[in-house]
Amino acid sequence: MVELEIWYDQEPENDLGPGDPPIVVDTAAELDQLLDRVLEETKGNRFGQMIQVGIKGISGYPVLEVGLGKTLGFITYHDEHGGSTKGDASVDELVEYVYMGTVSEVSADVEVPMTTVRRGLHEFLATGSRPSVVEDDAVWPSRRTFSPALIPVRST
């Protein structure tokens, strides 16, 4: 088991700053508590929430970008090979998530049930390796990942 550093509610202007440390998680129960917290705090939001997950003490790769929605979410795995979860939606459709106040568009085909996202995060906590729910991007070369829209989040 590894210790995870999770970036969720830091202020954008102080990202990675000493006053805004990541949330450290090292048990399955702590991971579930944090996921439940994020989902509860964002349940009324128009867009799903994104978090970033890394391994404590390792700067750089591997890193997960994780989307947490009401029923669907995604995992994008960043290392020398990359990869994402693969759902049933079209690669041509975009969905929006929010990370630190910025709306980002992702291809809808990366969305999978939240139970799959949780399973992948638990696997990453247990192994520190690429979750089995993540498929190599070479298999899905047309997949688009994040492209920040750089617009403020507004409620509708």
| pLDDT attached to residue 88 | 93
The DSSP H or E segment spanning 72 is: strand 72-78
| pLDDT attached to residue 35 | 97
Handedness of CA 24, 100, 136, 122 (dihedral sign): positive
Handedness of CA 61, 20, 9, 2 (dihedral sign): positive
Q: How confident is the model at residue 144 (pLDDT cuts 50, 70, 90)?
A: very low
| pLDDT attached to residue 80 | 82
C-alpha 80/C-alpha 20 separation (Å) is 28
**DSSP alpha helices (H): ranges in the chain?**
28-41, 114-127
Asked whether residue 58 carries a pLDDT value surpassing 70, the answer given is yes
C-alpha 104/C-alpha 151 separation (Å) is 9
The CB density around residue 68, as the number of other CB atoms within 10 Å, is 21
Q: Average pLDDT, whole number, for the chain? A: 84
Q: How confident is the model at residue 66 (pLDDT cuts 50, 70, 90)?
A: very high
| pLDDT attached to residue 12 | 53
Q: Supply the pTM of this predicted model.
A: 0.83
Asked whether residue 143 carries a pLDDT value surpassing 80, the answer given is no
State yes or no: cis peptide before 131, omega within 30 of 0: no
Which is more confident, 55 or 136?
55
Q: How confident is the model at residue 95 (pLDDT cuts 50, 70, 90)?
A: very high
Taking 3-state DSSP, the helix, strand and coil percentages for the chain, each rounded to the nearest 5, stand at 20, 35, 45
Mean pLDDT, residues 28-32: 97
Handedness of CA 124, 127, 132, 135 (dihedral sign): positive
Contact 42, 48 (CB under 8 A): yes
- Portion of the chain with pLDDT greater than 90, in percent: 64
| pLDDT attached to residue 121 | 98
Q: Concatenated DSSP letters for 2-15?
A: --EEEESS--GGGT
